[in-house]
Amino acid sequence: MEHEKDPGAGLDPDPLAEQRGIDGFPPQKQEWPGLDARMTPRPDHGERSYQGSGKLRGRVALITGGDSGIGRAVAIAFAREGADVAFSYFSEHEDADETVRWVRDAGRRAMALPGDLRDPSACRERVERVVREFGRLNILVNNAALHVEKDSLEEISPGQLETTFRTNVFAPIWLAQAALPSMRAGDVVINTGSVTGFRGNPTLIDYAATKAALHNFTISLAKAVASRGIRVNCVSPGPVWTPLIVSTRSEEKVESFGTDTLWGRAAQPAEIAPTYVFLASGDSRYYSGEIFAPSGQ
């Protein structure tokens, strides 16, 4: 696949302006976990807009859920800033291959790690493989997440509750446990929270609870590792156009997704990734235990 670059390109103030109507996105639905290539319009991960400046030169990052969405945008940005990038994903091999191509296109090493993170041994094995093959791990981005909409609390089954917490809370904790022994002063952990962790959501009750837990985990872990010079922060976006949306929401909700923000639209992944770059780089060396909320609200 040919990857074009435009050195002079920048992010349009509204990347979807020409692709969406005033009523939002075209109605669409995919089976979970969804594929980027089948979305209309395709999300913008910064493929043709993000310009690096060496902020992460020589660093190694592990990003969970790096095959698409925010994870892919962060992988592209990190690579263009000079980092080698490993990322985990569930089973979306087509999307994962695309992320690998963009990382390598930036001249950096890429490693795709498929599988399920709802098991502590799987989390540990991924961290160990990155350290073994790349020699170190400087940046851990706990980004993978799952949500399933339900109209009431009573509809949330024990299985859904356990799956949501294992994916969104347990896995980040297990990954941090595995990564911290290899981390040194200046290294960072970045968690992906959600605006729902602050405000709640009546149809995403279990998901919102996991994100509130992740916010608290960020603050607590930051205090626990500050003496080692390791920083821990969180990015908690509002609505972002990713495969998770079209694979877990009704066509009607997809059509109006993000229209209640100040900008009248959902964010593109490319608009969120620079926050991760800031938190991963030395530019944020005084920041720890912070929760950044690019919510558009």
**For residues 148 and 164, is the Cβ–Cβ distance under 8 A?**
yes
Question: Does the residue 25 lie in any domain?
Answer: no
- Beta strands (DSSP E) in 90-126 are 110-114
Q: What share of the chain in percent tops pLDDT 90?
A: 78
Question: What CATH number should be reported for the domain holding residue 79?
Answer: 3.40.50.720
**What tens digit of pLDDT does each residue of 95-152 get?**
999 999 999 999 999 999 999 999 999 999 999 999 999 999 999 999 999 999 999 9
Report, as an integer, the average pLDDT of 168-174. 98
Q: What share of the chain in percent tops pLDDT 70?
A: 92
Q: What confidence category does residue 155 fall into, taking pLDDT thresholds of 50, 70 and 90?
A: very high
Question: Does the residue 121 lie in any domain?
Answer: yes
Question: Does the residue 30 lie in any domain?
Answer: no
- Higher pLDDT: 127 or 5? It is 127
Question: Does the residue 14 lie in any domain?
Answer: no
By residue range, what is the domain housing residue 231?
40-292
| Cβ neighbours, 10 Å, residue 120 | 16
What was the pLDDT predicted at 26?
85
**What tens digit of pLDDT does each residue of 31-58 get?**
887 788 789 889 999 999 999 999 999 9
Q: Is the pLDDT of residue 23 over 70?
A: no
Long-range interactions of 221-229: CB distance < 8 A, separation 24+: 221/176, 221/189, 222/288, 222/289, 223/289, 225/180, 226/288, 228/183, 228/184, 228/185, 229/184, 229/185, 229/186, 229/187
The first and second tokens of residue 16, run together, are: 């979807």
The first and second tokens of residue 37, run together, are: 């290539």
Question: Does the residue 181 lie in any domain?
Answer: yes
What was the pLDDT predicted at 21?
38
Report, as an integer, the average pLDDT of 166-172. 98
Q: Is the pLDDT of residue 251 over 60?
A: yes
What was the pLDDT predicted at 142?
98
Number of domains in the chain: 1
Question: Does the residue 92 lie in any domain?
Answer: yes
> Given its phi and psi angles, is residue 291 left (phi above 0), alpha (psi -120 to 50 degrees) or beta?
beta
**Active-site residue among 50, 89, 207, 276?**
207
* DSSP secondary structure of 19-40: TSBTTBSPP----TT--GGGSS
Q: Which residues contact 157 (CB under 8 A, 6 or more apart)?
A: none
What was the pLDDT predicted at 13?
52
Residue 207 falls in the annotated catalytic set: yes
Q: Is the pLDDT of residue 3 over 60?
A: no
Exposed/middle/buried for residue 282 (C-beta within 10 Å: 0-12, 13-18, 19+): exposed
Question: Does the residue 191 lie in any domain?
Answer: yes
CA distance 88 to 114: 6
Question: Does the residue 203 lie in any domain?
Answer: yes
What is the C-alpha R_g of the chain? 18
